[in-house]
Amino acid sequence: MEYLLDNPQIENTYQEIIRKLRPIQNGAVAEMMAQRGLEYKVNMGASVVSLRQLAAGYTRNHLLALKLWNKQWRETMILATLLDEPEQVTEEQLDYWVKSFPNIEMAEQASMNLFVYTPFAFQKAKEWCLEKKNLVKMAGLLLMGRLAMTDKTTADEAFESFFEVLPPLSKDPELSSIFIRSFTHLGRRNLNLNKLAIMFARTLKTIDSPVSQMVADAIIEELESDYVQEMLNAKA
């Protein structure tokens, strides 16, 4: 995906940001991340908190975000998710970025910082759950969970539509922890979705897969817990 990235003012801002990354780098953190399998073209080990603080000093700009993403450093990619303008993001960009994620950290940051606020969030979350690449499926699950947490206006029916695409994902042990975490966010949204999510989890128990059954048990235990039920009843 090619863009004209030659705006002089944006170029100056971009170069300024690159310079400001040096003082917040942390080699020890970068090394630990590599040992945990979080590989990047370049990883300076800057904390997400410090990157948020850096981004707060700038106005969101779509062109700047594209330049930062194209650098393909860990820090510039996270900053791109923090500085892009959600209303300017296209479907093409979302698909391009998600397929270029190097690891789960970037999927989490992009879903939380940017993707959830775009007009295509629901559509892409479901589409990505049907993709072949596990990292893209993870992004779909993460985006579903983030929508359940942050979208306060969408009707329950939009969230129910995820039930159609989720059963195959419940069988994959690489997706199980993200599946549980994201789906329980959906089931904690309100009493109606809580009831529907528990019913859906019970159908997962009928799948001939130990992973699906483990996922179902974890979801049911969480969503039927006294804490969740009390919280939802208090909100009702």
User: Per-residue pLDDT tens for 134-174?
Assistant: 999 999 999 999 999 999 999 999 999 999 999 999 999 99
Distance CA 93, CA 60 (A): 17
Mean pLDDT along residues 179-202:
98
Contacts of 44 (CB under 8 A, 6+ apart): 21, 22, 24, 25, 26, 30, 73, 74, 75
Residue 112: both structure tokens together? 């939380």
All structural domains of the chain with their residue ranges: 1-84, 120-236
pLDDT digits (tens, 9 = 90+) for 53-90: 999 999 999 999 999 999 999 999 999 999 999 999 99
Token pair for 204: 């997962």
